[in-house]
């Protein structure tokens, strides 16, 4: 992707009801101001992480090779092309299902200072207390919309733990990344839980009529 592509995306980007955030956060309590349903766009750096990466950190006890304080993580394993100089060019960067990696939420927020997790399908209800305690948020992206997402990532700046390819730790530089929906906030709210409750109630109605 060229700079021109990103500029084209920017032209159709930020609208007035979207909040802008730069990551990593300098104020670790900054996301306490957000509420579910708000739309955000991100600038700065976001860190790609996935199943194998977190299994190494938490189950094998290996310290991540970069500081995650105030970070926004994104659940991804990108498609890339390795260049002659050893760097990586993006082919397709999109977002995977977060529920699979739910059990790592507490450790990420408590032990490493992570404040935002970007993904699709949300975290499970048992992550809500940790978002409350540490002032974290879950930002929902549109799963499958990876072509758009790839145009909003300016560069792959660093790749750690290449032996886990494609589930390495990735440092991406982003601009106007989004729109993302605040789907879980630090006030105990989760849009996924609201939707599930209504769906369960409707399912009971439908079942009674079968």
Residues forming contacts to other proteins in the complex (CB under 8 A) are 5, 37, 52, 76-81, 91-97, 99-100, 120-122, 140, 142-148, 150-151, 165-166, 179, 181, 183, 191-192, 194-196, 198-200, 202-203, 206-207, 210
Q: In angstroms, what is the minimal distance from the CB of 67 to other proteins?
A: 26
Q: In angstroms, what is the minimal distance from the CB of 130 to other proteins?
A: 19
Q: In angstroms, what is the minimal distance from the CB of 173 to other proteins?
A: 18
Q: In angstroms, what is the minimal distance from the CB of 202 to other proteins?
A: 5
Contact 42, 174 (CB under 8 A): yes
Contact 58, 38 (CB under 8 A): no
Of residues 110 and 187, the one with the C-beta less far from other proteins: 187
Of residues 33 and 195, the one with the C-beta less far from other proteins: 195
| E strand intervals along the chain | 18-23, 39-49, 72-75, 79-82, 88-92, 116-119, 137-140, 153-160, 169-184
Of residues 70 and 154, the one with the C-beta less far from other proteins: 154
Q: In angstroms, what is the minimal distance from the CB of 60 to other proteins?
A: 13
Question: Which of these, 120, 93, 97, lies nearest to 6 by C-alpha position?
Answer: 93
Of residues 187 and 198, the one with the C-beta less far from other proteins: 198
Q: In angstroms, what is the minimal distance from the CB of 166 to other proteins?
A: 5
Of residues 25 and 80, the one with the C-beta less far from other proteins: 80
Of residues 22 and 102, the one with the C-beta less far from other proteins: 102
Round to whole Å and give the CA distance between 158 and 150.
16
Round to whole Å and give the CA distance between 95 and 178.
12
Q: Which two tokens stand for residue 50?
A: 């996935």
Burial of 167 (0-12, 13-18, 19+ CB in 10 A): buried
Q: Which two tokens stand for residue 92?
A: 């397709």
């Amino acid at each position: 992707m060229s700079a021109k592509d990103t500029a084209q995306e920017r032209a159709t980007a930020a609208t007035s009801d979207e909040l802008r955030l730069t990551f990593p956060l300098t104020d670790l309590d900054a996301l306490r101001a957000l509420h579910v349903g708000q739309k955000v766009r991100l600038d700065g750096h976001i860190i790609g992480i996935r199943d194998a990466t977190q299994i190494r950190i938490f189950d094998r006890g290996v310290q991540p090779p970069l500081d995650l304080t105030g970070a926004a993580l994104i659940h991804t394993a990108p498609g890339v092309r390795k260049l002659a100089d050893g760097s990586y060019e993006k082919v397709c960067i999109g977002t995977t299902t977060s529920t699979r990696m739910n059990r790592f939420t507490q450790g990420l927020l408590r032990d490493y200072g992570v404040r935002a997790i970007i993904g699709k399908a949300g975290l499970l209800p048992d992550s809500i207390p940790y978002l409350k305690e540490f002032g974290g948020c879950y930002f929902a992206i549109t799963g499958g919309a990876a072509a758009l997402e790839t145009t909003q990532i300016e560069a792959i700046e660093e790749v750690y733990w290449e032996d886990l390819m494609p589930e390495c730790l990735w440092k991406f530089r982003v601009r106007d990344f989004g729109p993302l929906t605040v789907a879980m906030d630090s006030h105990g709210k989760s849009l996924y839980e609201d939707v599930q409750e209504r769906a369960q109630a409707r399912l009971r109605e439908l079942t009674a009529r079968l």
